[in-house]
Chain A
Amino acid sequence: MDFTIKTMAEYAAEGKAPEVLFFVGCAGSFDDRAKKITKAFCKILHKVGVEFAVLGQEESCNGDPAKRAGNEFIFQMMALTNIEIMNAYEVKKIVTSCPHCFNIIKNEYPSLGGNYEVLHHTQFLRKLMEDGRLKIEGGSFKGKKITFHDPCYLGRANGEYEAPRMLLEKLDAELVEMKRCKSNGLCCGAGGAQMFKEPEKGDKDINVERTEEALSETPNIIATGCPFCNTMMTDGVKHFNKNDEVAVKDIVELLAEAEDL
């Protein structure tokens, strides 16, 4: 990165508070593919001039995979650790680039004492755009066909279908919808801790089924809004040997590309 990413600790040392805490999440911190999404998002925030911080080494897993697997103990251990730290920094507003972080901090942290305004990165960017702070010129995507895969934990779980689509529309590309989209969207197969285990025996893998559906729209780009969906769809595209023709990209990566960041 050609600018410094500041932590909450650094802000606190200066006696200041950032506009928003970017909760990076495990995938965004450690997974090579997801790190690109993290960086793209930071670049946009930096360009717009949003003062943001991360927790860095003080961040822990949000607890979602443990919770969905059924392990309430480990989930609450993570959640209460995060809450204690975020409350100590008096965090008010959080943005995440992972719908699982978004969902669990927004919905399951409050009853444990963590009350924040939580936004998914597509919601945050839409707000920036509506406030006139973020301007997108989508020229470079003209003539391209994009299809968007709804993440379950953003869509069905929290009813957000429009923010990602509004951002994609700014790219001047042709936006095509899959047959199963929005509230009928099909899972990528990674949720509910499935990301961390082999699927049960069946006829095919869920990500293959979903990618097949996406590819039937002959898109140039499959847009995602979740690092896990991104992995699953990328694997799916590879399964069909289409990785040279079809790119799987997070919305925020597309925006960064449009801005030539």
Chain B
Amino acid sequence: MQYIDNIIFFIALIAGFGFFFKSLKEIYRNIQLGKKIDRTDNPSVRWKTMAKVALGQSKMGKRPIAGFLHVIVYVGFVIINIELIEIIVDGIFGTHRFLAGIFGDTLYGVFTATLEILALLVIIAVVLFFIRRNFYGVKRLTMKELFGWPKQDANWILLIEFALMTAFFTMNSADWVLQQRGVLAEHGNFPVSSGLIAPLFGNFGDSTLVFLERGAWWFHFVGILFFMNYLYYSKHLHIILAFPNTWFANLQPKGKFNNLDSVTKEIKLMMDPNADPYAAAPEADPNAVPDKFGANDIFDLNQVQLLNAYSCTECGRCTSVCPANITGKKLSPRKIMMDTRDRIEEVAKNINKNGKFVDDGKKLLDDHIQREELWACTTCNACVEACPVLIDPLSIIFEMRRFLVMEQSSAPSELNVMMTNVENNAAPWAYNQADRLNWAKEN
């Protein structure tokens, strides 16, 4: 019976990671629903971009307060997770503070002290974030698209992080008191726990302290597994996906939009004076699905755009710089990304239920994203510039406009006038092309 702890631990560990990888697999499957796109050119630039933007947090500093707090939580999170290695080894083999034996006492002291200080900073940052998000009235954090789950999600995350850090301190404090009493061997250095929290534990009996230490240890471990599996349902998926998302980011100038090759073929044929207008059309592949122009659902978007949707943290930096949104129009680039992810999830549930996607009569366009939002965009790229993880909401807006214009001919009437003018007069206004050089003769 003495191994029961280890066995329960092992089962929890396998289950936790198992579910986690199942979720990742599902996300991967869902991203595959999009169209293929080759974003593997210039790998060295891509690695550099990822190191700078995702690992180095280079775009977070643009908003110094949020950026600074974020870096603390991020660094804390990454480093404190080294602790996870120790927890796993201790849990499986029933050792206590396994790393102490590896590091030696001095280094282990530095290690545990660093963790304690980071954990304290994380707690402070998390509390400040909670106040800022809920009571401070930052506009991008109080907009109506965040009502409901997105707002709860953010608070849950802060709460979980707070709870994990509290458990960490409870564990260390109880451990430290027990070490002082000689119950446990002395390992580590705990500047925060010994100074701030341990005095509160002074009157507790040994068995209470052992219970506290073990309880907090288990809570910390199970909490991490829970947190990991919670990610799938949360905007906090970005802590993982920010990395591939920045790697697959667009390396071209932001102003460069893609050209549709299928159209090029048509137009070249149209402009070719030697083309025979009566020639029979080449034998078409009867199984070929005709190319659709643009996108009205997630299946028409490319895989990077779907990855973008999963990577979105809903921070709203894009929306807060969007000229349309600033002036009260319905467009919010953040909502475009949230809608896209919602639609992916909707399709994913459909696939899980039916084995494959069965038409549900819904689309990303109209059922999630409204036309009014799409037509308000000035294509200024401010949202793309602002995103801390290099998401491109503009590319989705643009593909959906293509669908509206080329598949449905449903552009606003003034734009139809403009397009007719371009087609007939080679200018957006109804001037004669022959008058194009008149300015040269004027004074």
Q: Which residues of A contact B (CB under 8 A)?
A: 1, 4-5, 7, 24, 26, 28-31, 35, 38-39, 42, 54, 56-57, 59-61, 63, 65-74, 76-78, 80-81, 84, 103-104, 106-108, 111-112, 152-153, 156-159, 183-187, 189-206, 208-210
Contact = CB atoms under 8 A, between A and B. Distances in A.
Nearest to A209: B327
Interface in B7-51: none
22 contacts: A59-B426, A61-B422, A67-B257, A68-B401, A69-B405, A70-B294, A72-B260, A73-B266, A73-B267, A74-B419, A80-B264, A84-B271, A106-B253, A107-B252, A156-B255, A158-B254, A184-B385, A186-B326, A187-B378, A189-B378, A192-B377, A203-B327
Interface string B213-235: 00000000000000000000000
Contact of A72 (B372, B384, B402, B427): B402
Given A74-B422, A80-B264, 9 more contacts: A24-B436, A39-B442, A70-B406, A106-B253, A158-B253, A191-B378, A191-B379, A200-B329, A209-B327
A71 B255 contact: no
B255 A153 contact: yes
A196 B426 CA distance: 15
Nearest to A195: B428
B428 A61 contact: yes
Given A156-B385, A200-B376, A202-B324, A66 B255 contact: no
Contacts, number: 225
Interface in B382-432: 382, 384-385, 398, 401-406, 411-412, 414-415, 417-419, 422-423, 426-429, 431
B422 A57 contact: no
Contact of A5 (B376, B426, B437): B437
Contact of B255 (A61, A103, A194, A195): A103
Contact of A65 (B255, B267, B428): B428
B267 A77 contact: yes
A189 B323 contact: yes
Interface residues of B, number: 69
Nearest to A73: B263
B259 interface: yes
B293 interface: yes
A85 B331 CA distance: 39
Contacts of B405: 69-71
Contact of A54 (B375, B378, B401, B437): B437
A197 B414 contact: yes
Given A26-B427, A26-B428, A209-B323, A1 B414 contact: no
Given A70-B294, A72-B406, A78-B422, A111 B253 contact: no
B302 to A, nearest CB: 16
B328 interface: yes
Contacts of B294: 70
B411 A69 contact: yes
Given A30-B435, A206-B327, A192 B380 contact: yes
Contacts of B403: 70
A42 B440 CA distance: 9
Contacts of B378: 152, 187, 189-192, 194, 206
Given A192-B377, A204-B328, A184 B321 contact: yes
9 smallest beta-carbon distances between A and B, as pairs: A157-B255, A203-B328, A192-B379, A70-B401, A202-B328, A107-B256, A187-B380, A70-B405, A60-B426
A33 to B, nearest CB: 12
B284 interface: no
A103 B402 CA distance: 19
A30 B418 contact: no
A66 B406 CA distance: 11
Contacts of A84: 271
Contacts of B402: 70-72
A156 B254 contact: yes
A74 B414 CA distance: 16
B381 to A, nearest CB: 4
Given A38-B439, A69-B411, A186-B323, A76 B259 contact: yes
Interface string B279-314: 000000000000001100000000000000000000
A111 B411 CA distance: 26
Contacts of A187: 323, 378, 380, 382
Contacts of B441: 1
Nearest to A187: B380
Given A70-B405, A73-B263, A194-B378, A35 B418 contact: no
Contacts of A208: 327
B268 interface: yes
A66 B384 CA distance: 22
Given A65-B418, A152-B378, A200-B375, A1 B271 contact: no
Contacts of A71: 402, 405-406, 411, 419
A193 B405 CA distance: 13
Contacts of B415: 69, 193, 196-197
Contacts of A205: 327
A69 B271 contact: no
A108 B418 contact: no
B169 to A, nearest CB: 40
Given A71-B405, A204-B327, A112 B422 contact: no
A184 B59 CA distance: 13
A4 B256 CA distance: 35
Interface string B178-217: 0000000000000000000000000000000000000000
A135 B404 CA distance: 50
Contacts of A31: 429
B151 interface: no
A24 B427 CA distance: 12
Contact of A61 (B257, B270, B324, B427): B427
B320 to A, nearest CB: 11
B423 A152 contact: no
Contacts of A57: 433-434, 436-437
A209 B259 CA distance: 33
A213 to B, nearest CB: 10
Given A7-B437, A72-B293, A202-B328, A108 B259 contact: yes
Given A70-B402, A200-B324, A206-B378, A30 B429 contact: yes
B330 interface: yes
